[in-house]
Amino acid sequence: MTEIKGIALSVLCLSILVSACRDDEEAVFTESDWPAYGGQNNGNRYSTLTQVNRDNVSRLTPAWQFDMDSAGSSQTQPIVVDGVVYGITPNLEVVALNGASGELLWSFSGLERPTDFAGPSRGLAMWKDGDKEILFAGLLDNLFAIDPDSGDLVAEFGNDGVLDLRTGLPGDTSRYYVSMSSPGLIYRDTIIVGFRTAENPPAAPGDIRAFDVRTGELVWSFHTIPAADEFGADTWPEGARATQGGANAWAGFALDEERGIVYVPTGSAVPDFFGGERKGDNLFANSLVALDATTGERVWHFQAIRHDIWDRDFPAPPSLVTVQREGRAIDAVAQTSKQGYVYLFDRATGEPLFPIEERTVPTSSLAEEPAAPSQPVPTAPAPFARQELTADMLTTRSPEMNDWAREQFSNFLSEGLFVPFGTEQPTVVFPGFDGGAEWGGAAIDPAKGIIFINSNDIAWTGELVASPNGMGVGEALYQAQCALCHGTDRQGSPPEFPALTNASETVSPDEMRNILRYGIGRMPGFPALAPEAVTGLTDLLLNPEGVSSSDDGKEAVPSLSTEGSSVAYRFTGYNRFLDPDGYPAVAPPWGTLNAIDLNTGEYLWKIPFGEYPELTAQGIDVTGTENYGGPVLTASGLLFIGATLYDRKIRAYDAASGELLWEYEMPYAGMATPAVYRVDGRQYVVIATSNSRNPRAQQGSAYIAFALPE
């Protein structure tokens, strides 16, 4: 795309799209592109395109659909450069599509493994210098450098075009499950990456690393679990880098290109729910860390949860914004959270722009759990998800359901956000384990300082159990590694976490081995499991009569891991608080869309977001639903978002009022953040869709692009 190059960009470089410009102030990308995860490296999910506007958006219609022939989950926000849409399929193939027609230009599948057993890869990164371009795709533990014209690997990078991301991490790296759920971020001639890792030991320490885009050489590494002589080491037990894992950044980053600062949101330390073996605050877990993007040195940090025992990862990339305070413009960084808070900091200093209070929180009922005595809570903006479930907030769908919910609720401990899990009764987690905010990220109106956030708003419960002794290998491993998601009783928490009670009906021993080695969907792989461990688990789950399935030994995997079985308490499983019909047992809204003025901290609007079509058909007011994938904003004042799980709609709202201006029912749900671009003068909105999170819906996945009729 050459239109407007040069003209528009010299203006843009000076204003909002700073991250589209390189050092020399020369434009790298145009406003027709969507060149990075989040639109720009500033994480604004904002496009300056205005062809589609309030007056004509009602005429928006599908322009093309690219079917991916997979029942898996597609969470990728594509990037678009020079009219080519680069996406990732549920089976982790990279595809290049003609942005005007959806025609496949090339596809790349570089993984030497069965890709049915794959996790999400939510985006890509493009490095461009003059005529040279490299497309980076993080697929599981591989970072691939691809020629965007041909789809061939760039041999000069790493090992013939690929880096094994486990390389260079401390310890026996073959034991680590590492997966790039979010793309790297390009800063000058480096790509900055984080990764997702296991939720139980052994998990990799979440080092943040920058690699040279040309060679794949390591440029710097920041230790989110500090070494002995590094800042923060005293917030861990001795030798933590060798023994602890997590504190990883799986959600992506934002970059202040001018200041050369990258903002890194991190997740919790491992294991998620019991911290008896990681006494201390555990810096830099659950933190927003500002790093010098050239050296990896820490500029400032803010830890949102001390010694996290609730899995309160920072779930989304931050967004850069400029706010007005007493007539002064302040460059800020905004970070959303699962707790329903949006934190706002001075980008340069880390000073909070709304006061953050330190609140005393409950201690643990378990002697072995050194829960933090206090937690920081922002005083504004008000949380965008409800904070403490009380009996008067239960479902009102019918008097019977309300009675049922009250009865259940009377067995729960519900005292707000920071109640450590115990062994006596389920503890309410509200907002739930999936937020509040999730990985889709927020959109920003850069001129007005407004942030747009979609949020989940349902309750979950969790509980711990003392680790029992004297179990067989399979059962011990199951309880140590699997019960977290599939439940101590193997009932899971369907549909997200399947029950394994009848696994033999759906899973063959071969599939089980692949699932355990590589992971599947939201389930991480367990490469550290030795053959005898895999056999033990397979026998336990697939051959209840005890017939051995062991003809394994195909691949030598590292020694048996019963690591994690020494942990004193285990989590019994993620449980949504649902009524007998499967609807949330709290009163609606179950999902919301919010517009918050970050200058004042005030809400401009807040609406229920998402429908259960069958409830709407019964005449029930829109309830809101769980939603995944974020919004994008255009300069014409339109907020585009898919994300709603059950109605499969993509919608456009008037950003000023929250009024719904357009909606379209897609074949699959838009569980991803859209991208906005232009080809040959025509503006498109493209989104990845899939139904894997809603097993009752017809399965499939596609990229779907919308435009005004020609």
Question: Could you say which of 48, 481, 514, 561 contacts ligand HEC (CB under 6 A)?
Answer: 481
Buried b (16+ CB within 10 A) or exposed e, 260-271: bbbbbbbbbbbb
d(CA 521, CA 524): 8
Q: ω before 284 within 30° of 0 (cis)?
A: yes
Q: Does 484 bind ligand HEC (CB under 6 A)?
A: yes
Q: Which of the ranges 170-178, 261-269, 464-472, 484-492 carries the binding residues for ligand HEC, by CB under 6 A? A: 484-492
Nearest residue to 536 (alpha-carbon basis) of 558, 554, 562: 562
Question: Could you say which of 116, 189, 496, 663 contacts ligand HEC (CB under 6 A)?
Answer: 496
Nearer Cβ to ligand HEC, position 481 or 691? 481
Q: Does 534 bind ligand HEC (CB under 6 A)?
A: no
Nearest residue to 79 (alpha-carbon basis) of 183, 219, 201, 164: 183
Q: Does 507 bind ligand HEC (CB under 6 A)?
A: yes
Q: Does 512 bind ligand HEC (CB under 6 A)?
A: yes
Quote the least distance from Cβ 483 to ligand HEC, whole Å: 8
Quote the least distance from Cβ 12 to ligand HEC, whole Å: 40
**Interface mask toward ligand HEC for 54-73; x: CB under 6 A:** --------------------
Quote the least distance from Cβ 231 to ligand HEC, whole Å: 30
Quote the least distance from Cβ 573 to ligand HEC, whole Å: 9
Place of tokens 């435009």: 707
Question: Could you say which of 264, 515, 596, 704 contacts ligand HEC (CB under 6 A)?
Answer: 515
Q: Does 503 bind ligand HEC (CB under 6 A)?
A: yes
Nearer Cβ to ligand HEC, position 223 or 486? 486
Other beta carbons within 10 Å of 673: 33
Nearest residue to 542 (alpha-carbon basis) of 590, 508, 496: 508
Quote the least distance from Cβ 519 to ligand HEC, whole Å: 8
Nearer Cβ to ligand HEC, position 86 or 526? 526
C-alpha distances in angstroms, 403 versus 389, 394, 407, 615?
A: 16, 9, 6, 20
The region, left, alpha or beta by phi > 0 then psi within -120 to 50, assigned to residue 408 is alpha
Quote the least distance from Cβ 511 to ligand HEC, whole Å: 7
Window 652 to 691, contacts with ligand HEC (CB under 6 A) = none
Q: Which of the ranges 110-118, 243-251, 362-370, 514-522 carries the binding residues for ligand HEC, by CB under 6 A? A: 514-522
Angle at 278 between CA 195 and CA 254, to 5 degrees: 30
Q: Does 313 bind ligand HEC (CB under 6 A)?
A: no
Q: ω before 495 within 30° of 0 (cis)?
A: yes
Quote the least distance from Cβ 162 to ligand HEC, whole Å: 25
Q: Does 520 bind ligand HEC (CB under 6 A)?
A: yes
Kindly state the tokens that stand for 79: 């990037």
Total of residues contacting ligand HEC (CB under 6 A): 24
Q: Does 640 bind ligand HEC (CB under 6 A)?
A: no
Quote the least distance from Cβ 251 to ligand HEC, whole Å: 16
Kindly state the tokens that stand for 533: 């461990």
Question: Could you say which of 54, 279, 406, 522 contacts ligand HEC (CB under 6 A)?
Answer: 522
Q: Which of the ranges 7-15, 88-96, 483-491, 630-638 carries the binding residues for ligand HEC, by CB under 6 A? A: 483-491
Q: Does 628 bind ligand HEC (CB under 6 A)?
A: no
User: Dihedral of the CA atoms 7, 11, 17, 19 (nearest 10)?
Assistant: 80
Q: Which of the ranges 228-236, 519-527, 587-595, 642-650 carries the binding residues for ligand HEC, by CB under 6 A? A: 519-527
d(CA 442, CA 631): 6
5: exposed, middle or buried (C-beta count within 10 Å: 0-12, 13-18, 19+)? Answer: middle
Angle at 426 between CA 589 and CA 376, to 5 degrees: 70
Quote the least distance from Cβ 533 to ligand HEC, whole Å: 8
* Residue 80: φ, ψ to 5°: -135, 125
Quote the least distance from Cβ 558 to ligand HEC, whole Å: 15
> Which residue number has the CB closest to ligand HEC?
521
Question: Could you say which of 33, 82, 93, 199 contacts ligand HEC (CB under 6 A)?
Answer: 199
Contacts of 596 (CB under 8 A, 6+ apart): 342, 381, 384, 450, 451, 453, 602, 603, 604
Nearest residue to 478 (alpha-carbon basis) of 564, 563, 537, 558: 537
Nearest residue to 244 (alpha-carbon basis) of 204, 193, 288, 286: 204
Q: Does 446 bind ligand HEC (CB under 6 A)?
A: no
Window 255 to 274, contacts with ligand HEC (CB under 6 A) = none
- Cβ–Cβ under 8 Å, residues 441 and 451: no
Q: Does 482 bind ligand HEC (CB under 6 A)?
A: yes
Question: Could you say which of 410, 469, 506, 618 contacts ligand HEC (CB under 6 A)?
Answer: 506
Quote the least distance from Cβ 578 to ligand HEC, whole Å: 17
Q: Which of the ranges 234-242, 479-487, 648-656, 683-691 carries the binding residues for ligand HEC, by CB under 6 A? A: 479-487
CA atoms lying within 13 Å on the CB side of residue 277: 21
C-alpha distances in angstroms, 636 versus 53, 57, 653, 655, 683?
A: 5, 10, 11, 9, 12
d(CA 490, CA 487): 5
Nearer Cβ to ligand HEC, position 197 or 414? 197
Q: Which of the ranges 162-170, 477-485, 565-573, 598-606 carries the binding residues for ligand HEC, by CB under 6 A? A: 477-485
Q: Does 116 bind ligand HEC (CB under 6 A)?
A: no
Question: Could you say which of 68, 270, 334, 537 contacts ligand HEC (CB under 6 A)?
Answer: 537
Place of tokens 């010694």: 307
Nearer Cβ to ligand HEC, position 323 or 515? 515
Question: Could you say which of 498, 525, 624, 670 contacts ligand HEC (CB under 6 A)?
Answer: 498
Question: Could you say which of 96, 143, 428, 485 contacts ligand HEC (CB under 6 A)?
Answer: 485
d(CA 166, CA 625): 37
9: exposed, middle or buried (C-beta count within 10 Å: 0-12, 13-18, 19+)? Answer: buried
Name the site residues for ligand HEC (rule: CB under 6 A). Answer: 199, 481-482, 484-486, 496-498, 500, 503, 506-507, 512, 515-516, 520-524, 526, 537, 541
